[in-house]
């Protein structure tokens, strides 16, 4: 005899808040974590930008997220909160290029380097994140580091180009665009 198990999908249409920026939610998260009542959904950056996605948490809660167009799901966003359950979004780190200026360049070289680096990244239509005087942008493979080293070879004395894995959130207004 076979039995059909029917799970209920929960519809989510807004983010409650974020445990990284809301002190009340952070405290609630810590309390619920102690009693093992926190669930997580892993989400990629590309998924986080979609209006509709379906995810199952690490404990089996089935969620259908329908977000407002243009909104993004961020790392630490609380998507569901009940008396006995909190479901948070956990962004998946992605492979990025990291470009930083070397410390021994003049102000004139800084300006020229920044413009040329920005122009090159812009021509490749990559979203960027600027943090701690470093520019980050997503890459698919390590071979893209070599590509950017070639494209920026005339600036190699002024910059370091390395790969990293981070939770990449593009700067507002500097994400992917088309012509």
Question: Tens-digit pLDDT profile for the chain (179 aa)?
Answer: 555 555 789 999 999 999 999 999 999 999 999 999 999 999 999 899 899 999 999 999 999 999 988 888 999 999 999 999 999 999 999 999 999 999 888 888 999 999 999 999 999 999 999 998 899 999 999 999 999 999 999 999 999 999 999 999 887 765 554 44
User: Is residue 172 domain-resident?
Assistant: no
Predicted TM-score (pTM) of the model is 0.75
Domain termination residue (choose one: 63, 91, 119)? 91
User: Is residue 144 domain-resident?
Assistant: yes
User: Is residue 118 domain-resident?
Assistant: yes
What residue numbers bound the domain in which 157 lies? Answer: 94-166
In this structure, the answer to whether residues 69 and 126 fall within a common structural domain is no
CATH number of the domain to which 26 belongs:
2.60.260.20
Do residues 96 and 170 lie in contact, with contact meaning Cβ atoms separated by under 8 Å?
A: no
In this structure, the answer to whether residues 77 and 124 fall within a common structural domain is no
CATH number of the domain to which 124 belongs:
3.30.70.930
Number of domains in the chain: 2
Neighbours of 129 (CB within 10 A): 19
Domain termination residue (choose one: 91, 120, 143)? 91
In this structure, the answer to whether residues 119 and 54 fall within a common structural domain is no
- pLDDT of res. 179: 44
Using CA atoms, how far residue 105 sits from 25, 100, 102, 114, 155, in Å, is 45, 12, 7, 12, 11
């Amino acid at each position: 005899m076979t039995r059909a198990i029917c799970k209920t999908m929960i519809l989510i249409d807004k983010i409650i808040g974020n445990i990284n920026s809301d002190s009340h939610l952070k405290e609630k998260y810590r309390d619920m974590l102690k009693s093992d009542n926190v669930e997580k959904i892993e989400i990629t950056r590309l998924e986080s930008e979609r209006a509709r996605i379906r995810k199952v948490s690490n404990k089996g809660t089935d969620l259908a997220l329908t977000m407002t167009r243009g909104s993004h799901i961020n790392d630490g966003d609380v998507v569901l909160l009940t008396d006995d359950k909190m479901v948070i979004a956990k962004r998946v780190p992605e492979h990025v290029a990291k470009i930083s200026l070397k410390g021994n360049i003049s102000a004139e070289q800084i300006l020229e380097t920044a413009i040329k680096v920005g122009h090159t990244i812009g021509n490749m239509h990559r979203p960027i994140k600027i943090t701690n005087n470093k520019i980050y942008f997503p890459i698919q493979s390590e071979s893209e580091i070599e590509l950017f080293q070639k494209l920026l070879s005339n600036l190699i004395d002024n910059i370091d180009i390395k790969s990293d894995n981070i939770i990449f959130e593009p700067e507002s207004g500097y994400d992917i665009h088309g012509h």
